[in-house]
Amino acid sequence: MTQQTPKSGTSGVIRVGILGCGNVGSALVGLINSNRDIIDGRSGVKLEIVRVAVRETTKDRGNEILPNVLTTDTVGLVNDPNVDVVVELIGGIEPARTLILSALKLGKPVITGNKELLASAGAELFEAAEAAGVDLLFEASVAGGIPLIRPLRESLAGERIKRVIGIVNGTTNFILTSMTEDATSFADALAEAQRLGFAEADPTADVEGFDAAAKAAIIASIAFGAKVVASDVYREGITQVTASDISAARDLGYVIKLLAVAEAVGEGENSSLAARVHPVMVPANHPLASVRGSFNAVFVQGDAIGDLMLYGRGAGGNPTAVAVLGDLIDAAKNLHSGARGATIGKLIDKPIVPIDDVRSQYYLTLDVADQPGVLAAIAGVFGKHMVSIQSMQQKGEASEAHLIFVTHLAWEADMMATISEVKDLAVVTRVGSFVRVIGEEA
Amino acid sequence: MTQQTPKSGTSGVIRVGILGCGNVGSALVGLINSNRDIIDGRSGVKLEIVRVAVRETTKDRGNEILPNVLTTDTVGLVNDPNVDVVVELIGGIEPARTLILSALKLGKPVITGNKELLASAGAELFEAAEAAGVDLLFEASVAGGIPLIRPLRESLAGERIKRVIGIVNGTTNFILTSMTEDATSFADALAEAQRLGFAEADPTADVEGFDAAAKAAIIASIAFGAKVVASDVYREGITQVTASDISAARDLGYVIKLLAVAEAVGEGENSSLAARVHPVMVPANHPLASVRGSFNAVFVQGDAIGDLMLYGRGAGGNPTAVAVLGDLIDAAKNLHSGARGATIGKLIDKPIVPIDDVRSQYYLTLDVADQPGVLAAIAGVFGKHMVSIQSMQQKGEASEAHLIFVTHLAWEADMMATISEVKDLAVVTRVGSFVRVIGEEA
């Protein structure tokens, strides 16, 4: 049944094998079928889907995939001599890792959108691709349909990147946007996100920042050519963000967002990296502040290029499939012409600084007894730890007051020491919220 | 003096000739010199600047360029067998066009940021590059440092693009932002822009939309693979935008921006294109609305990818030089490996619809006599021309009233007929402002 399949290289037909046919896979098949005219016209290659590996071959998939293309044999698909390019969309670490390594060893370019795998075994995969002299492309692994990996690797190939900060998880951005615009609680906003299909029944991976941390690791790896895995990324989720934090942020001219941050610390040979995911108060006029709902955006700061932001749909079958297809066409053209695309090569080892050694501004709320000398006592603790206060607001009535502080830039370790000591003051009833702040320096 | 220059292909050295050393050229030289480590590490090629063509070789250029590299002989630079790649940064149509065509014919890849040339002779240059089998890259020609051409050509290679709308002129965006945020007049905002160096002494090219129209032509060419030149682009500038329009827009929930629009009209074989530049009222929560000051942003709408926005510095030596350098590294790698990048190939001829056949929403203000029956008479004219009114606000006192209309989607021709007939009504003292509106449909 594969006898009539055209050979690679003749008439520009590239034969594609797809591992996995869920949301993204079926959208990809749909796009390849419906956009043949565009793909042929722009690239000069014809994509033919010759194998699609699925769990159940009997499931109805409309008219998009011929039944004889379906298989449950993933290893067979990779090894099939009629498959020129492999698209991996099954996700997770194994068997995806082994399948990708096998394909690369066979000289077959691989397209993947597998963030989990890249955030744990990226360095191994990049080296395998380099050794085999084969394309490994993964635009879809971060921020779905947004072109990010290609701009970082190619458009900014000659640029010294200082920092990348991104809204890379649509679920949490949807929740925070609801909390901001509709003044709902975290619990209500999460329930609404689940009802609309933006959050899963078990929302842990999203709301605790695991998904964003994997993407932060990939971004840091590409932006700085360094080995960064998900577990290197400092991580806090959004479950502690309260409606009153959101409202206090608004009063102060900020919006709260969950950000993935990857930044260079220091310069030259001895430079290190910081990679982290946590809620951040972003100035209301910052481009990231207006990224609403389930949209994603990545803000890049470079030495020469200044500020750059890439905004769009960070998830969903169709947008993600567009990213996969862009990579697939690239790999197919390279295969057809005997060329290779941009390579990552060997990721270098760079020190990753602990969160204690990061500098930021901070928002901190304290409930205190409303009596003379309280502010002096608290300010004394801040000063002792070299944390300078930028603004303080006092709210509340009767015997208790609510203090809202925003600090100037300070070391995280100093801020933590401040909080720890302030907590023990007799006049402090409760340490409320603590959120990092992006100021004009960032 | 060129004897010691390494040959192309040996040890990955690619010898670069640069035509023009103004703002962008000198920033490019600086970047190549200071970012050697990054360029070598990421790309595996070494860029060596072997020739820089300038008007005056005696001008002091710091230590960035060796004196024996400078020349006034542009033709000699292109023909120099020691030059592997040509970067054209002299701008204008001639001699840039002839120099680029010569370089391509000699098999030398060309990088250019020349929007004027591409917006008039793009099709000729793309065909020459295709015929010669050589890279012609031009990321810097639209929106400076923002990766746009590469994402359109590569990341969205498999996507059906519906519309591209962009803030592609920093001068006018700076002026409109000042008018919006500081409630200044157009004249004052322009004077401030000139004082700060964001606008030239003769601001015509910017404020009348010529610069944006050239970029719209390039965007339309790339997004739709069609032959579109600057003179095909319908064009209005911002000189007619008043402080009261800005304030009325704010009251209605909009921000006024000068947009370049390129869109597909209809589908398939018989589809046509619209390309235009004019002020637009953009909803305040639209991502383009928060693009402030001299920043640029391009908003892409595709069938499958949905909304995408690319934001950054649209001008300036350093940001533009980053775009040129990304292209240069790409071309150098291709030259080194014997491959080719994405090609544009032959642009097809597509009908370009006149502005009359475009559909939009409209904002229109009228000064009218404040007497019974006025609104009925005006509404009757709107209705007769099939223009449906979405909202009407009445302001003013005593004998004269000021009416502010926003229409639903209507054909431009119908709207023009409406205005023409309304103007002749005895009760209408004056037709005030007319601005196209992007609504939820766009």
Contact A314, A143 (CB under 8 A): yes
- The confidence band for A9, taking pLDDT boundaries of 50, 70 and 90, is very low
Q: Does A322 touch chain B (CB under 8 A)?
A: yes
pLDDT at B5 over 80: no
Q: Does B100 touch chain A (CB under 8 A)?
A: no
Query: Which of A60-74, A84-98, B252-266 shows the lowest per-residue confidence on average (mean pLDDT)?
Result: A60-74
Averaged pLDDT for residues A95-113: 97
**A-chain residues near B145 (CB < 8 A):** 304-306, 308
Residue A368 half-sphere exposure, CB side, CA atoms within 13 Å? Answer: 27
Q: What DSSP letter does each residue of A48-69 carry, written as one string?
A: EEEEEE-S-TTS--TTTS-GGG
In percent, how much of chain A has pLDDT > 90? 82
Contact B159, A325 (CB under 8 A): yes
How high is the pLDDT of residue B269? 74
pLDDT digits (tens, 9 = 90+) for B134-178: 999 999 999 999 999 999 999 999 999 999 999 999 999 999 999
Distance between CA atoms of residues A414 and B381, nearest Å: 70
pLDDT digits (tens, 9 = 90+) for B209-259: 999 999 999 999 999 999 999 999 999 999 999 999 999 999 999 999 999
How high is the pLDDT of residue A4? 33
Cβ neighbours of residue A426 closer than 8 Å, sequence gap 6 or more: none
pLDDT at B8 over 50: no
Q: Give yes or no for a cis peptide into A95 (omega within 30° of 0).
A: yes
- How far does Cα A372 stand from its chain's mean position? 47
Q: Which two tokens stand for residue A70?
A: 């379906």
* Minimum Cα–Cα distance from B338: chain A residue: A339
- The confidence band for A442, taking pLDDT boundaries of 50, 70 and 90, is very low
Phi, psi of A167 (to 5 degrees): -90, 100
Q: Which two tokens stand for residue B255?
A: 């921000």
Between A and B, how many CB-CB pairs are < 8 A?
201
Distance between CA atoms of residues B127 and B130, nearest Å: 5
How high is the pLDDT of residue B53? 96
Contact A73, A100 (CB under 8 A): no
Averaged pLDDT for residues B308-336: 95
Contact A20, A90 (CB under 8 A): yes
> Which fold is adopted by the domain A355-437?
Alpha-Beta Plaits (3.30.70)
pLDDT at A101 over 70: yes
Distance between CA atoms of residues B302 and B308, nearest Å: 8
Distance between CA atoms of residues A433 and B8, nearest Å: 60
How high is the pLDDT of residue A343? 75
Pairing mode of beta strands B110-112, B254-265: unpaired
Contact B167, B288 (CB under 8 A): yes
How high is the pLDDT of residue B66? 76
- The confidence band for A336, taking pLDDT boundaries of 50, 70 and 90, is confident
Question: pLDDT averaged over chain B?
Answer: 92
With a CB-CB cutoff of 8 Å, which residues 124-153 of chain B face chain A?
139, 145-147, 150-151, 153
pLDDT digits (tens, 9 = 90+) for A218-251: 999 999 999 999 999 999 999 999 999 999 999 9
How high is the pLDDT of residue B64? 72
Sign of the four-CA dihedral A220, B147, A134, A31: positive
Pairing mode of beta strands A359-369, A428-437: antiparallel
**A-chain residues near B306 (CB < 8 A):** 145, 312-313, 316, 318-319
How high is the pLDDT of residue B7? 37
- The answer to whether the CB atoms of B159 and A326 lie below 8 A apart is yes
Question: To the nearest whole angstrom, how far is the Cα of B120 from the nearest Cα of chain A?
Answer: 21
Distance between CA atoms of residues B84 and B108, nearest Å: 6
Nearest to B311 among A41, A42, A287 (CB): A287
Query: Which contiguous run of DSSP H or E holds residue B118?
Result: helix B115-132
Contact A321, A49 (CB under 8 A): no
Residue predicted with more confidence, A338 or B366: B366
Query: Which contiguous run of DSSP H or E holds residue A110?
Result: strand A110-112
Domain assignments of chain B as residue spans, ordered by start: 13-144+318-337, 161-312, 355-437
Q: What is the ipTM of this complex?
A: 0.92
Averaged pLDDT for residues A103-117: 97
Calculated CA dihedral for residues A219, A223, A228, A234, nearest 10 degrees:
-60
- The confidence band for A11, taking pLDDT boundaries of 50, 70 and 90, is low
Distance between CA atoms of residues B420 and B425, nearest Å: 9
Q: Which two tokens stand for residue A351?
A: 């020190």
How high is the pLDDT of residue A8? 45
Q: Give yes or no for a cis peptide into A283 (omega within 30° of 0).
A: no
A172: nearest Cα among A226, A110, A236: A236
Contact B339, A334 (CB under 8 A): yes
CATH fourth-level superfamily of A149-313: Dihydrodipicolinate Reductase; domain 2 (3.30.360.10)
pLDDT at B9 over 60: no
How high is the pLDDT of residue B68? 86
Catalytic residue among A108, A115, A215, A257: A215
**Second CATH level (architecture) for the domain B161-312:** 2-Layer Sandwich (3.30)
pLDDT at B419 over 80: yes
Contact B331, B343 (CB under 8 A): no
Averaged pLDDT for residues A84-99: 97
Averaged pLDDT for residues B8-17: 78
pLDDT at B6 over 70: no
Nearest to B339 among A151, A159, A339 (CB): A339
Averaged pLDDT for residues B63-87: 92
Which residues of B participate in catalysis according to the annotation? 215
- The confidence band for B1, taking pLDDT boundaries of 50, 70 and 90, is very low
pLDDT at B423 over 80: yes
> What's the length of chain A?
442
First to last CA, chain A: 59
- How far does Cα A353 stand from its chain's mean position? 20
Cβ neighbours of residue B352 closer than 8 Å, sequence gap 6 or more: B228, B232, B272, B273, B274, B275
How high is the pLDDT of residue A398? 64
Averaged pLDDT for residues B253-266: 95
pLDDT at B13 over 80: yes
- The confidence band for A441, taking pLDDT boundaries of 50, 70 and 90, is low
pLDDT digits (tens, 9 = 90+) for A392-431: 998 876 678 899 999 999 999 999 999 999 999 999 999 9
In percent, how much of chain B has pLDDT > 70? 96
Q: Does A21 touch chain B (CB under 8 A)?
A: no
Cβ neighbours of residue B234 closer than 8 Å, sequence gap 6 or more: B274, B275, B276, B277, B278, B354, B355
How high is the pLDDT of residue B4? 33
Place of tokens 């592609």: B168
- The confidence band for A63, taking pLDDT boundaries of 50, 70 and 90, is low
In percent, how much of chain B has pLDDT > 90? 82
- How far does Cα B343 stand from its chain's mean position? 20
Q: Give yes or no for a cis peptide into B95 (omega within 30° of 0).
A: yes
How high is the pLDDT of residue B231? 96
Q: Domain spanning B13-144+318-337: which CATH class is it, in words?
A: alpha beta
Distance between CA atoms of residues A272 and A350, nearest Å: 6
How high is the pLDDT of residue A138? 97
Question: To the nearest whole angstrom, how far is the Cα of B430 from the nearest Cα of chain A?
Answer: 37
A68: nearest Cα among A84, A87, A86, A49: A49
Query: Which contiguous run of DSSP H or E holds residue B411?
Result: strand B410-411
Place of tokens 């709320």: A365
Nearest to A305 among B159, B297, B312 (CB): B312
Question: To the nearest whole angstrom, how far is the Cα of A95 from the nearest Cα of chain B?
Answer: 27
Distance between CA atoms of residues A382 and A373, nearest Å: 15
pLDDT at A161 over 60: yes
Residue B124, Cβ density class (10 Å: 0-12 exposed, 13-18 middle, ≥19 buried): middle
Three-state secondary structure string covering B351-363? CECCHHHCEEEEE
Averaged pLDDT for residues B81-100: 97
Distance between CA atoms of residues B70 and B135, nearest Å: 25
- The answer to whether the CB atoms of B154 and A326 lie below 8 A apart is yes
Active site residue A215: yes
pLDDT at B2 over 60: no
Nearest to B150 among A154, A160, A323 (CB): A154
Question: pLDDT averaged over chain A?
Answer: 92
